[in-house]
Structure 1
């Protein structure tokens, strides 16, 4: 019912010094290969954990930005690490940008009509 391999005809022979050197060399190369692979995986996991620890959370809380008198918010959008607010100030267009992480003002651009 069960397949059994036939018993060996010859007993285990001792390895020659040349064969022992080849086996030792193979073991050395195998251990070096495993060591390099483990170091590579550790490096990748180290970089991933470093970036996760260094990531700064987005700003939370309340921020009040004062707008000029008569200004209306036309549109808002987020682009990269910047919040962009387009204002309509008495017929003139103004763009204000804020840093997404700190919500601090990053810039202001005004458009005016030539007289």
Structure 2
């Protein structure tokens, strides 16, 4: 959440300084203020070690990422496990925040 707070503070400062208008604030502008601005958002997030949480890591950027959790620890995460993660990702229906029914209507 640090990244979201910092981006918000930076935008607020620009509004205070008259460099931005409140009505100019949108998702695109916010994306330009996060720490990974200019980089594509992840499609797949892989979490090793048995934890089933993101631990406040890239909260904004992971909104539409597919998540793969494994009990295997990072030092033991090998090519076979990586391919398993990719296979899991390949069969998923990417919904980008929509329900399956909404995706089927498109």
| Bucket of the pairwise TM-score, normalised by the shorter protein | under 0.3
More helix by share: 2
TM-score (norm 2): 0.19
**TM-score normalised to the size of structure 1?**
0.18
Name which structure has the greater RCO, CA cutoff 8 Å, separation 6+.
2
User: Which structure dedicates a bigger proportion of its chain to strand?
Assistant: 1
